[in-house]
Amino acid sequence: MNDRFSSHGLTQWHGTTIIGVKKGGKTVIAGDGQVSMGNTVMKPNARKVRRIGEGGKVIAGFAGATADAFTLFERLEKKLEQHRGQLMRAAVELAKDWRTDKYLRNLEALMIVADADVLLILTGNGDVLEPEAKGEAAICAIGSGGNYALSAAKALDDYESDPEKIARRAMAVAAEVCVFTNDRVTVEVIES
């Protein structure tokens, strides 16, 4: 059984939910902890969101194959070093490599990355996507529960000013609906 499917041209990954919310000078990335193999939960407390780069000034979350994601984390850290911590430039260079390198092209993962200035989705298609801001908020999500979390976060945005509260509640909604997402959430926050 193939554990990915295509929706609107983007590959979606079963087994996780990652959400990014940027609002009011604060950026949050949250992710669940469930690792599934088919219909079996292999691990309930994986850490799919972490700080990377010099001084932990970048936060990143992944959906997809764990080993592939760690390879991408390492590559992104190297790009951040090469480009003096400039996330946008490092992300574009990683996306170029990811799309053109024979080895990296086969990696099955998506990433949401952020620093104090920018929130991005990185894909193996070579995409570096910055979510459209609605007012002062920008929201994005990936993974099998990504659409549930994204919808919940967008609904909460008009009523909640704290992006961490939005992300946590959106993750709770995704965990209630998506069988590949649990309620053991890791949250990382960066303030500008």
Which residues, in sequence order, are CB contacts of 1 under 8 Å at separation 6+? 38
8 A C-beta contact, residue 13 and residue 24: no
List, in sequence order, every beta strand (DSSP E) within the chain.
4-7, 10-13, 17-23, 26-31, 35-37, 40-43, 49-52, 58-64, 109-114, 119-122, 128-129, 133-134, 137-143, 186-191
* Number of Cβ within a 10 Å radius of residue 102: 6
**Three-state SS at 61:** strand
Known catalytic residues are: 16
Q: Could you tell me which residues are beta bridge partners of residue 60?
A: 50, 113
